[in-house]
Amino acid sequence: MLRLPVFTFLTPKTIDEAIGMMVDAGGDASFVAGGTDLFPNMKRRQQTPRTVISVLSLPELRAVRGNATEGLTLGAGVLLSDLCADPLVTATFPVVARTARLISTPLLRNMSTIGGNLLIDTRCDYYDQTYEWRKSIHFCLKKDGDTCWVAPGSSTCSSWPPRSASRSRSVTTRPARASGTRSNIAYSRSSASTGAANRWSASRPW
Ligand SMILES: Cc1cc2nc3c(=O)[nH]c(=O)nc-3n(C[C@H](O)[C@H](O)[C@H](O)COP(=O)(O)OP(=O)(O)OC[C@H]3O[C@@H](n4cnc5c(N)ncnc54)[C@H](O)[C@@H]3O)c2cc1C
Ligand code: SF4
């Protein structure tokens, strides 16, 4: 059984408090929402924050607001299962609810947030392995090693998310272009869209 490392767990009551805790931790910290991505990664020592700051119960992050004309703003802390059933989302942008329903399983959706879904650590077969497995191949460029095993001639990891994508708070769903039958999803920071595109680049099927 893989065990979590020892870490400090903080539960802020507001976004400002959460940001203050992150600043105080001096960079050696990570936010966590549902933990469905971060905690398995910590067990495999892919991510090793000494402080974990929970944003799961911040009410400010649970909001869904907007309308069909101007678009919706989805809080980063909205659970995927809530997104599937949200009356405003299903009435205005049903494709968003339907898409969320396609993610993983009910158990995962009950715990996962949309913010966490956008910011999961990128997948790679040479990286999503236990510490001992990764050590046996001398790790890889993304963490602790100096070779990319997907593209050994490469000096960069094609599974690496842009760092600027890792702090967004909300996703804005803009209204459909012409007919109202299609929608554009724009992330609150423009570079996050690159992150979403990259996320699956060296990935395996779920
Ligand atoms: C078995 C399995 C199957 C899956 N299948 C699919 C699938 O079919 N399709 C798919 O798209 N995904 C899939 N996933 C990914 C899943 O959707 C994500 O694990 C989940 O959405 C992450 O949400 P979370 O709230 O648990 O994130 P966490 O694990 O809590 O966090 C993930 C990352 O996001 C950061 N983060 C979270 N919230 C915030 C915030 N508010 N502000 C700043 N940073 C934040 C954390 O610091 C961490 O780096 C699957 C996962 C598993 C384990
Ligand atoms: S793409 Fe290369 S460097 Fe990135 S995680 Fe995979 S093996 Fe490691």
- Residue ending a domain, choose from 57, 79, 96: 57
**Cβ contacts of 205 within 8 Å, gap of 6 or more:** none
Give tens-digit pLDDT for 75-123. Answer: 999 999 999 999 999 999 999 999 999 999 999 999 999 999 999 999 9
pLDDT at 173: 44
Helix count and strand count (H, E) for the chain:
9, 7
Q: Check whether residue 53 and residue 25 sit in a common domain.
A: yes
Q: How many domains does the chain have?
A: 2
141: helix, strand or coil:
coil
User: Is the CB–ligand 1 distance for residue 74 below 6 Å?
Assistant: no
Q: Check whether residue 117 and residue 17 sit in a common domain.
A: no
- Residue 90, judged by CB atoms within 10 A of its CB (0-12, 13-18, 19+), counts as middle
Q: Check whether residue 69 and residue 41 sit in a common domain.
A: no
Domain span holding position 110: 61-123+159-206
User: Is the CB–ligand 1 distance for residue 36 below 6 Å?
Assistant: yes
pLDDT at 195: 33
45 or 179, greater pLDDT: 45
Residue 99 lies in a domain: yes
Ligand 1 atom closest to Cα of 77? 41
Average predicted confidence (pLDDT) for the chain: 83
The first and second tokens of residue 186, run together, are 């724009």
Q: Check whether residue 46 and residue 93 sit in a common domain.
A: no
Give tens-digit pLDDT for 144-186. Answer: 999 999 999 999 998 875 443 333 344 444 444 433 333 223 2
Give dist(CA 51, CA 31) in Å, integer: 9
Ligand 2 atom closest to Cα of 143? 8
With a Cβ cut-off of 6 Å, ligand 2 is lined by: 124, 126-127, 140-142, 148-150, 157-159, 202
